[in-house]
Amino acid sequence: MAFFEVKNLKKVFGGLTAVDGLNFALEQKEIFSIIGPNGAGKSTIFNCVNGLYTPEEGEVIFKGENLVGKRPDQVAQYGIARTFQNLELFAHMSTLDNLMLGRHIKMKTSVLGSSFLSFKRSKAAKEEMHHRRKVEEIIDFLELESSRDQFVSNLPYGKQKLVELGRALSLEPDLLLLDEPAAGLTQEEKEEMIFWIRDIRDLLGITVVLIEHNMQMVKNISDRILAINFGKPITQGTPAEVLAHPEVIRAYLGEDVNEAV
Ligand SMILES: Nc1ncnc2c1ncn2[C@@H]1O[C@H](COP(=O)(O)OP(=O)(O)OP(=O)(O)O)[C@@H](O)[C@H]1O
Ligand SMILES: [Mg+2]
């Protein structure tokens, strides 16, 4: 059985079929990329996987269960975390607090449930300390110490993208869905992002699905690639196979996808 599998996925918005007949399966610790032109249906796939949208047809199989119909918080509990194409952070909160919030579904005891006086020795306090330690580990891992106590709104865009990655990691997921993690980054930041994603797979053992327009990154980092257009699969295979496919090249309006950055 595959570690993660999307079977025959279909999502319709009014008269528009955004995703149709989509199949892919991942092995554990793969880095798998989904590419396709603007509006091809890439983000819709993630939205169907994490429970924001309910697909018209298909299955999303993870840990032996079909996740279709589950809410985003339930999908997160299964061990699937994601980042968003447009950052979804709390701008007027610190990096640390954003990561703590990212972890809140793991917290069993509500801090609000205990009075201040009983809090210090309570189960809630111990749990809070445990979560804080985990979040500090992620801040160390992504080298975000200098941004730790700053409001996210005061950080440069490249750092905000890293905080969003940290927020997803704070769930300690088994599967990480990254929607255009390099969009808007400088060349140097893009190269760093490649290192972070590799480290996430190699050091934390997390399986990654990546949506990305940056072909240099996709080519560099992916074990396999799925190319889609108009919601339908074009082809999937190794980077060399997919990026040389005539329909993939055509979908990118004749650009040489091997040159496009
Ligand atoms: N909530 C929605 N309601 C109506 N239409 C939607 C909705 N979400 C996506 N769509 C449409 O579905 C199609 C696929 O959109 P999607 O955002 O998945 O594309 P994408 O491949 O992620 O594009 P991009 O590279 O620009 O991010 C588009 O035509 C889009 O307008
Ligand atoms: Mg998108």
73 and 100 fall within a common domain: no
Measured CA to CA, the distance from residue 93 to residue 150 in angstroms comes to 8
Task: Give the per-residue pLDDT at 261.
Answer: 43
pLDDT higher than threshold 70 for residue 260? no
Ligand 1 pocket test: pick from 6, 33, 43 the residue with the most ligand atoms within 8 Å of its Cβ.
43
- Hey, whose CA ends up nearest to atom 29 of ligand 1? 39
**Mean pLDDT for all residues in the chain:** 91
Q: Is residue 259 part of a domain?
A: yes
Measured CA to CA, the distance from residue 166 to residue 237 in angstroms comes to 29
Q: Is 195 in the pocket of ligand 1 (CB under 6 A)?
A: no
Domain of 122?
Answer: 93-167
Q: What is the pTM of this model?
A: 0.91
Q: Is 135 in the pocket of ligand 1 (CB under 6 A)?
A: no
Judged by DSSP in three states, 255 sits in coil
147 and 225 fall within a common domain: no
Contact (Cβ atoms closer than 8 angstroms) between residue 142 and residue 166:
yes
- Hey, whose CA ends up nearest to atom 11 of ligand 1? 18
pLDDT higher than threshold 50 for residue 104? yes
Measured CA to CA, the distance from residue 225 to residue 235 in angstroms comes to 8
User: How close is the Cα of 155 to the center of ligand 2, in Å?
Assistant: 24
pLDDT higher than threshold 80 for residue 117? no
70 and 105 fall within a common domain: no
Count of beta carbons in the 10 Å neighbourhood of residue 203: 9
Number of separate domains in the chain: 2
20 and 137 fall within a common domain: no
Chain segment 191-207, per-residue pLDDT in tens: 999 999 999 999 999 99
100 and 65 fall within a common domain: no
Judged by DSSP in three states, 73 sits in helix
User: How close is the Cα of 39 to the center of ligand 2, in Å?
Assistant: 7
Measured CA to CA, the distance from residue 33 to residue 227 in angstroms comes to 8
26 and 153 fall within a common domain: no
Ligand closest to the CA atom of residue 37? 1
Q: Among 127, 144, 167, where does a domain finish?
A: 167
Contact (Cβ atoms closer than 8 angstroms) between residue 128 and residue 97:
no
Task: Give the per-residue pLDDT at 75.
Answer: 95
68 and 3 fall within a common domain: yes
141 and 24 fall within a common domain: no
Contact (Cβ atoms closer than 8 angstroms) between residue 195 and residue 203:
no
Q: Among 108, 138, 167, where does a domain finish?
A: 167
